[in-house]
Amino acid sequence: MRIGNNPQKEAILENDGYVFQIVIPVYIPNLRGYYTESFKVLKNCILSLQKTVSYKTFICIVNNGSCGEILQYLNEQLSAGSINEIVHTHNIGKLNAIIKGMAGHNIPLVTIADADILFKQDWQTETITVFNNFPKAGVVGLIPQFKMFTSHSSNLIFDSLWNSQLKFSKVKDKEALVRFYDSIGWDDNYNKDYLSQQLTISSNCHKSIVGSGHAVATYKREIFTKLLSKTSKYKLGGDSETQFLDISVLKLDGWRLTTEKNYAFHMGNTWETWMQAEIDSLSQNNKIKIPNLQSNVLTSQKFCFIIKSRFFKKFLKWKPFYLFFLKRQQLPNSMIKTY
């Protein structure tokens, strides 16, 4: 029997003022073999977050079927106030875990990161700076990678092809670029021109790299409005990230960008000495301030999507035009034929 009225009935949720929501899916089923050092990597991922984020940040960890040691650790972090929310579930797949983490929130920026990312100082400030300088930005990554402009960036190239602000520029942090490909197990037999030049776009004297990866990136909330009720059939891989994290941005004619400098590291599943040095270099500051985020809401652009991300994408792959494009955007002549 109910007596009286529930005091929460009709109560309005308060505006908590969060600007960033961090969603990190975690799947560490045991601490053996491939996962032997994953627990240590996860701890330092969360520690780097705690040291580098503003108080306007809501941290959500999705425990996607991890072992008991991980569950206990995450619960301890929640009790200590180091993170804001934990979602516990069985292994439902990476993308489905991300969807669960986003549900029920309306925070303007959503940072989706793997559980093996080491965040650097000022990453949030730089992310907002990119969004504010490029109103069409839909996603901003933190880790520069090779030739990102060739993946899901044909709409940006279409918009800016004749703009002098779109051009190749010298790589800002060659060492970090090398370190990323070491972290994913690549041999060093790749084209070394990729360590020298990258496609960038400028606005208001601010420069960003064209394209973005998946390891860690921040998205505008509206990109996922129609996707939160969907599910992926893959535990990992397949076309899930392409459809959910790439195509969804293009359907709103959003640009994919990355900070010109490196603001995060991919650690992988093995702890290395340099990682401890990076963690030690981070300063704890509970009063980190970030710039105000300008309101530039993206909306559905079906016609633009068909023209720019379907037809023009194919045209950009046509070799004569691609070579013209490289020359037009001022890639050094010695690199054009092999870039």
Pairing of strands 109-113, 20-26: parallel
pLDDT score for 104: 83
Q: Which residues pair with 265 in a beta bridge?
A: 118
- Residue 16's pLDDT is 74
Q: Give the C-alpha separation, 262 to 331, whole Å.
A: 22
Taking the model in full, what pTM does it have?
0.92
In angstroms, the first-to-last Cα distance of the chain is 73
72/46 Cα distance (integer angstroms): 15
SS (H, E, C) 3-19: CCCCCCCCCCCCCCCCC
Nearest to 130, CA basis, from 193, 209, 59: 209
**Strands of 206-210's sheet in order across:** 85-89, 57-64, 20-26, 109-113, 216-220, 137-141, 255-259, 206-210, 197-203, 166-170
**Phi, psi for 264 (deg, rounded to 5):** -160, 160
Instruction: Average the pLDDT over 83-101 and give the result.
Output: 91
Minimum mean pLDDT range among 15-29, 193-207, 281-295 = 281-295
Q: Closest Cα to residue 287, out of 129, 87, 52?
A: 52
> What percent of the chain has pLDDT above 90?
78
Task: Check whether 163 has a pLDDT greater than 50.
Answer: yes
Residue 136 is encoded by which pair of tokens? 């069409």
Q: For 103-149, how does the pLDDT look when each residue is reduced to its tens digit (9 = 90+)?
A: 889 999 999 999 999 999 999 999 999 999 999 999 999 999 999 99
pLDDT of residue 95: 87
Residue 197 has pLDDT above 70, yes or no: yes
CATH code that applies to domain 20-338: 3.90.550.10
Q: Residues 166, 210: contact at Cβ < 8 Å?
A: yes
Q: Are the C-beta atoms of residues 3 and 39 closer than 8 Å to each other?
A: no
pLDDT digit string (tens) for 19-63?
Answer: 999 999 999 999 999 999 999 999 999 999 999 999 999 999 999
pLDDT reported for residue 151? 93
Q: What is the pLDDT of residue 103?
A: 86
| Angle at CA of residue 309, ends 170 and 312, nearest 5° | 80
What are the extents of the domains in the chain?
20-338
